[in-house]
A and B are shown apart, each in its own frame.
Chain A
Amino acid sequence: MKLYFKYVGMLLKSQMQYKASFIMTTLGQFLVSFTAFLGVYFMFSRFHSVKGFVFPEILLCFSILLMAFSLTECFVRGFDVFPRLIQSGNLDRILVRPRNEIFQVLTSNMDFSRIGRLLQSVLMLIYAIPASGIVWTFDKVVTVILMLIGGMAVFTALFVLYAGISFFTIEGLEFMNIFTDGSREFGKYPLSIYGEGILKFFTYVIPIALFQYYPFLYLIGRSDNAGLMFLPLLGFVFLLPCYGFFRFGLRRYKSTGS
């Protein structure tokens, strides 16, 4: 753990070397999600509600999802650019070192410019917390925290899955964007608005609804079932098959040479 923080510090320092570029990129990241926010805002200034959800509620949902996503993207970036590790042959260097390979992939790359996105989600959350009209009792606060943790677990699993697939094919990885970028894009609205089928898919196949939709119902008082607040923890179960798949790929890995 101490070693991990040492790596975090090192990567942070190295990215701070190019300050102007870092600030521009961070600003850009902020702007990207800010335009997404404006899109939602314009839709709501015209329509006022969607399937009974009003603007502050949507913002709450959007900000929690975006926060989980940007934190994951920042720290799990190593898996996001994993195909590059394979192509460059750097994965071989990792495999011969006497440390856990997951740890090494995690510490091989972090992208702190994602803070731009994080900032956007924090601002939205600050606005939505009072505006949503929720009475912030202890269990509601816990619900939000669990949603965040569960979200990070699911997104991490998706990135690991993505890395696992890249053992077998470099081409066609674009398809995974539906689940990573797509869930960030479409998860800003509670998944139920897309209809029953989509909600089922995102519950049982890619379990995004587990942290985004069901606990959210409890959070905004649509449901009194307090059990819903612990559903995000099931997201950790999703890590298992994804990690398993990654191990499976790793065992069949043949170096690309260099």
Chain B
Amino acid sequence: MRKYMSFFRIRFIAGLQYRAAAWAGIATQFAWGGMTLLMFWAFYQSGENSFPITFPELASYIWMQQAFLAMFMAWFFDNDIFDSITSGGIAYELCRPCDIYAMWFTKNMAIRLSRTILRCFPILLVAAFLPAPFSISLPPDWLSGILFLVSILLGFLVLIAFSMLIYISAFYTISPMGIRILATSVIEFFAGAIIPIPFFPEALQPIMYALPFASMQNTPFLIYAGHIRGIEALQSMALQLIWLAALLIAGRLLMKRALKKVVVQGG
């Protein structure tokens, strides 16, 4: 365990160095969140009372999404890992006395968390002081707040467990660009990063909620916003746990198979 902690620490501290980039990111995400809310505001103002989610709930959802973007952004991959597979550096990693799956997993956690820590607080702070319907509000009660904290951790692990599958796919395809962009757009769409899942057609929603992608950012943010509560929240969190277990097992198995017949590239 200790060696993985130190991998985590190295990556985490390295990630904290990019402060100017973080400020640019904060500005970008703030503008992005604002524009998204204005877009939804236009729809909400155009009348018709078929809103699947109230506007203050939506505002909380969007700001949480922007604040924790670095945790859940599907398009972000650690290029070092891909390079190590395509260039043959993997040979050195295989020599190390540690489990590659766990090592990559902790590295991914560290780099995403360090970026999030740099960015989330300014965004949340400013979003809290915006005028009424556009501001982020606190979770409806204590219970939702606590469930949110557990759920965001689970969602984070589900996302990384899923992206591990994409790293592993590079063992088979060598040129990971294509898979990367395909996987990214599928995850983004089904996770509710493009439009939140409550806005999908009613008929599609049961399927959407059952997929692993809804267990990523959708569940914790909807719990925070107060859109799902109590028993319903616990159910979605149970689903998160199931998907996490399934993805971890799948990743481990695929990794084992890939490593058995790995061809080291180049010299």
10 additional A-B pairs beyond A28-B178, A42-B201, A43-B195, beta carbons within 8 Å, are A24-B182, A31-B186, A38-B189, A47-B43, A47-B48, A52-B46, A172-B20, A182-B31, A182-B35, A186-B35
In the complex, the 6 A-B pairs of residues with the closest C-beta atoms, listed nearest first = A24-B178, A28-B181, A193-B42, A172-B24, A35-B189, A171-B20
CB-based contact B185/A194 at 8 Å: no
Whether A198 touches B38, Cβ cut-off 8 Å, given contacts A51-B46, A171-B20, is yes
Whether A194 touches B194, Cβ cut-off 8 Å, given contacts A47-B50, A50-B46, A182-B32, is no
Which of chain A's residues have a CB closer than 8 A to the CB of B182? 24, 27-28, 31
CB-based contact A189/B42 at 8 Å: yes
CA distance A224 to B43 in the complex (A): 26
CB-based contact A177/B42 at 8 Å: no
CB-based contact B199/A43 at 8 Å: yes
CB-based contact B179/A24 at 8 Å: yes
Q: Does B1 contact A (CB under 8 A)?
A: no
Which of chain A's residues have a CB closer than 8 A to the CB of B28? 174-175, 177-178, 182
For this complex, 17 residue pairs linking A to B, each with C-beta atoms less than 8 Å apart, are A20-B178, A21-B175, A24-B177, A24-B182, A28-B180, A28-B182, A28-B184, A35-B189, A38-B194, A42-B199, A47-B43, A47-B48, A47-B50, A169-B20, A182-B32, A194-B39, A194-B42
**CB within 8 Å of A: which of B1-52?**
18, 20-21, 23-25, 27-28, 31-32, 35, 38-39, 42-43, 45-46, 48, 50, 52
Chain A 37-72, CB within 8 Å of chain B: the 1/0 string? 011001101111111100000000000000000000
| CB proximity of B7 to chain A, nearest CB, Å | 25
Q: Does B172 contact A (CB under 8 A)?
A: no
| CB proximity of A192 to chain B, nearest CB, Å | 9
| CB proximity of B192 to chain A, nearest CB, Å | 10
CA distance A48 to B52 in the complex (A): 15
CB-based contact B39/A178 at 8 Å: no
CA distance A220 to B56 in the complex (A): 34
CB-based contact A50/B42 at 8 Å: yes
CA distance A15 to B199 in the complex (A): 39
Q: Does A36 contact B (CB under 8 A)?
A: yes
Whether A21 touches B200, Cβ cut-off 8 Å, given contacts A31-B185, A174-B21, A174-B28, is no
| CB proximity of B256 to chain A, nearest CB, Å | 26
Chain A 11-39, CB within 8 Å of chain B: the 1/0 string? 00000001011011101110110111011
Which of chain A's residues have a CB closer than 8 A to the CB of B43? 43, 47, 50
| CB proximity of B65 to chain A, nearest CB, Å | 14
Which of chain B's residues have a CB closer than 8 A to the CB of A47? 43, 46, 48, 50
**Mostly helix, strand, loop or mixed at chain A's interface?**
helix
**Mostly helix, strand, loop or mixed at chain B's interface?**
helix
Residues of chain B whose beta carbon lies under 8 Å from any beta carbon of chain A: 18, 20-21, 23-25, 27-28, 31-32, 35, 38-39, 42-43, 45-46, 48, 50, 52, 175, 177-182, 184-186, 188-189, 194-195, 199-201
Q: Does A141 contact B (CB under 8 A)?
A: no
Smallest Cβ-Cβ distance to A173: which chain B residue: B24
Which of chain B's residues have a CB closer than 8 A to the CB of A35? 185, 188-189, 194
Q: Does A133 contact B (CB under 8 A)?
A: no
Q: Does A195 contact B (CB under 8 A)?
A: yes
CA distance A51 to B38 in the complex (A): 12
CA distance A171 to B27 in the complex (A): 13
Which of chain A's residues have a CB closer than 8 A to the CB of B177? 21, 24-25
CB-based contact B24/A175 at 8 Å: yes
Which of chain B's residues have a CB closer than 8 A to the CB of A23? 178
Chain A 61-100, CB within 8 Å of chain B: the 1/0 string? 0000000000000000000000000000000000000000
CA distance A182 to B39 in the complex (A): 13
Which of chain A's residues have a CB closer than 8 A to the CB of B179? 24
Which of chain B's residues have a CB closer than 8 A to the CB of A52? 46
CB-based contact B32/A42 at 8 Å: no
CB-based contact A28/B39 at 8 Å: no
Smallest Cβ-Cβ distance to B37: which chain A residue: A194
CA distance A18 to B186 in the complex (A): 23
**CB within 8 Å of B: which of A187-233?**
189, 193-195, 198
| CB proximity of A226 to chain B, nearest CB, Å | 28
CA distance A21 to B23 in the complex (A): 35
Smallest Cβ-Cβ distance to B186: which chain A residue: A31
CA distance A39 to B36 in the complex (A): 12
